[in-house]
Structure 1
Amino acid sequence: MGERLSVRIPVDGDELDAWWYAPRGVDAPAPCVVLAHGFGAIKEMRLGAYAERFAAAGLGALVFDYRHFGASGGRPRNLLDIGRQLADWKAAVAAARVRPEVDPDRVAVWGSSMSGGAVVLVAAADPRIAAVVSQAPLADGRAALFHMLRGSARHVMALGVAGVRDTVGALLGRGPHTLRAAGRPGDRDAVLTTPDAYESMIRLLPPEAPYDNEVSARVILTLPFFRAVKAAPRLTCPLLVQVMDHDDITPPGPGAALAAAARHGELLAYPGGHFDPYAGEGFDRVLPDQIAFLARVLRTGTA
């Protein structure tokens, strides 16, 4: 296991909590990967495992939590604001670029699930980004909501009512009305309710890591406007999209459309569900392809 350095990154009067993994076996400034997690998740949920493998391959890795989540600052807690998260990405990428170990022109961004869409938006706004890895991405929030509607219109209606309640409360100066990020099938107070969602999320969490499993409900009203697939044509850098063929949270169709929409998009498909890439055989399948892609497009010399 490589050494991990805890760092704090300032952003708009708050701070992001981050881990830095120095590239191993590299003397000159090296490429770097900036990573953050998906919907309502925190970096303790296996992002360190990716960063360690990247560092062993000669890539620096910076892993961070969004504001309002994990050990990062930000009040109120569990506020999931897409605009703020994109600002957090910008701050984290800037922090990576000024590290002496990093070649600032070879910084890649890595995301999974919701952050798999966010990294496309980040790179579309920053042509200096050198590469994008998008794992099991939320490529099109509108398509995701239609998928949820097909599964349970009552569930989506309940989420929408909660979103309106939270939005109105915010206008009145109240704290967030929250939903559970993951629950079990039939739980109307949770966003992700596929049969594997709750157990899989909790399984990724170390026993000692505190986790609220909550997000502000207002994010439901913004999901139809979260459309990485529309930003993909603006990418100037290579994009790797990895989809899971039995993913019932971010189905592979929109992910394939995301790869096709990018000028330099590549698509790889794997067996398994949404949470399989984080551990076990799924992790062992997706990671070598990510490292090979980054080595090729960033010219690290790693096979």
Structure 2
Amino acid sequence: MSEQRTTVRFVSGSDECEAWLYTPAGSAGGAPRPAVVLGHGLGAVKEMGLDAYAERFAAAGYVVLVFDYRHFGNSGGEPRQLLDPDRQLADWAAALAYVRALPGVDADRVAIFGSSFGGGHVITVAARDPRVAAAISQCPFTDGIASAMTLGVPASLRLSVLALRDAAAALLGKPPVLVPLAAAPGGTALMNAADALPGYYALVPKGMHHPSEVPARIGLRIPRMAPGRDAARVRCPILFAVCDQDSVAPAGPTLRYAAKAPRGEVARYPIGHFDIYLGAAFERAIADQLAFLKRHVPV
């Protein structure tokens, strides 16, 4: 690998986010380069496949930052594993500010990449921040009701009970009530499609401990979220990488939202939600994403 990767930290709120910074070979002392900022999905951390994307972007000449949200991985924040969409959006803003201030980065040519839950975040970030040069929204969470319906009614009801208990615990200053990130079909979790449990943990590197539960209060928030609605306000080029057989973030709503993005582009793949990170599906997706960046944010 010719590009250099260093571990860095940047401030977000009252805590810090840990990130990997990739510097392309031969970039020292040259003209400012475009950059790409990457953030992951539901409860995931940078070690779960984002290095593969970052390496390809860096090899193409981009400065790359891959960060973990507060409360996850080696980033700060208590309680641990807290899924707070507002805090995560603030982390995106902090990551962009950090990258734009780096020597050797063209601050007006910074693109963003988000996958799954992060794919929804980048739609909102691009709508809020007119300086975003381009956005890639991969297998994005765009419609909370559509995603909640994938759980089935019994599991949704059980999740709601846990979420209410956790919300009460938070108000009383008690430890969080936890729910698994993924479970077998019919199980009580944030994801319980047939491919959710094996697909999610296929991304966890061997030997790495990754906590499998999060505070359940997010179960009250997800059905009320629809980041896809922000697509109509995104003025930069945005690529929606859509998995047609997505069992977690259904493709139908995403395609309808994508059609409303003024400069939206769509790449469709006949695969499931978790397939895009690995093998031939990854190779096809990363080729499309590099071509998109070359068109809109060339090195």
What TM-score comes out, normalization by structure 2 length?
0.96
Aligned equivalents of 2:19, 2:282: Cα separation in 1: 22
SS in structure 1 at match of 2:258: helix
Kindly indicate whether the alpha-carbon contact (under 8 Å) linking 1:141 and 1:224 is maintained by their aligned counterparts in 2. Answer: yes
Where do 1:273-292 residues align within 5 Å? 273-292=272-291
Aligned equivalents of 1:144, 1:185: Cα separation in 2: 14
Deviations 1:33-71 (A, max 9, x none): 111110011110010110000000111110001111111
User: Aligned pair count?
Assistant: 296
Aligned equivalents of 1:228, 1:18: Cα separation in 2: 24
State the 1:140 CA deviation.
Answer: 1.1
Range moving further from structure 2, 49-58 or 161-170: 161-170
Kindly indicate whether the alpha-carbon contact (under 8 Å) linking 1:245 and 1:252 is maintained by their aligned counterparts in 2. Answer: yes
State the 1:196 CA deviation.
Answer: 1.6
Aligned equivalents of 2:178, 2:26: Cα separation in 1: 45
| Cross-structure match for 1:6 | 7
Where do 1:184-223 residues align within 5 Å? 184-188=184-188, 190-223=189-222
| Residue from 59, 62, 81 that aligns with 1:59 | 62
Kindly indicate whether the alpha-carbon contact (under 8 Å) linking 1:23 and 1:30 is maintained by their aligned counterparts in 2. Answer: no
Aligned equivalents of 2:175, 2:15: Cα separation in 1: 18
Kindly indicate whether the alpha-carbon contact (under 8 Å) linking 1:110 and 1:116 is maintained by their aligned counterparts in 2. Answer: yes
Query: Residue 292 of structure 1 aligns to which amino acid in structure 2?
Result: A
Structure 2 unaligned segments of length 5 or more: list them: none
Kindly indicate whether the alpha-carbon contact (under 8 Å) linking 1:45 and 1:205 is maintained by their aligned counterparts in 2. Answer: yes
State the 1:274 CA deviation.
Answer: 0.5
| Cross-structure match for 2:48 | 45
| Cross-structure match for 1:155 | 155
| Cross-structure match for 2:169 | 169
| Cross-structure match for 1:77 | 80
Aligned equivalents of 1:112, 1:88: Cα separation in 2: 15
Kindly indicate whether the alpha-carbon contact (under 8 Å) linking 1:24 and 1:57 is maintained by their aligned counterparts in 2. Answer: no
Aligned equivalents of 1:58, 1:25: Cα separation in 2: 9
Query: Residue 160 of structure 1 aligns to which amino acid in structure 2?
Result: S
Query: Residue 21 of structure 1 aligns to which amino acid in structure 2?
Result: Y
Say if 1:236 and 1:34 are closer, same or farther in 2 by CA, change over 3 A.
same
Query: Residue 185 of structure 1 aligns to which amino acid in structure 2?
Result: P
| Cross-structure match for 2:265 | 266
Where do 1:118-157 residues align within 5 Å? 118-148=121-151, 152-157=152-157
Range moving further from structure 2, 50-59 or 137-146: 137-146
SS in structure 2 at match of 1:138: coil
Kindly indicate whether the alpha-carbon contact (under 8 Å) linking 1:16 and 1:88 is maintained by their aligned counterparts in 2. Answer: yes
Aligned equivalents of 1:203, 1:134: Cα separation in 2: 21
Kindly indicate whether the alpha-carbon contact (under 8 Å) linking 1:228 and 1:258 is maintained by their aligned counterparts in 2. Answer: no
What TM-score comes out, normalization by structure 1 length?
0.95
State the 1:143 CA deviation.
Answer: 2.2
Aligned equivalents of 1:223, 1:245: Cα separation in 2: 21
Kindly indicate whether the alpha-carbon contact (under 8 Å) linking 2:69 and 2:75 is maintained by their aligned counterparts in 1. Answer: yes
Range moving further from structure 2, 218-227 or 155-164: 218-227
Structure 1 unaligned segments of length 5 or more: list them: none
SS in structure 2 at match of 1:237: coil
**Does residue 1:254 correspond to 2:253, yes or no?**
yes
Percent identical residues:
49
| Residue from 38, 55, 66 that aligns with 1:35 | 38
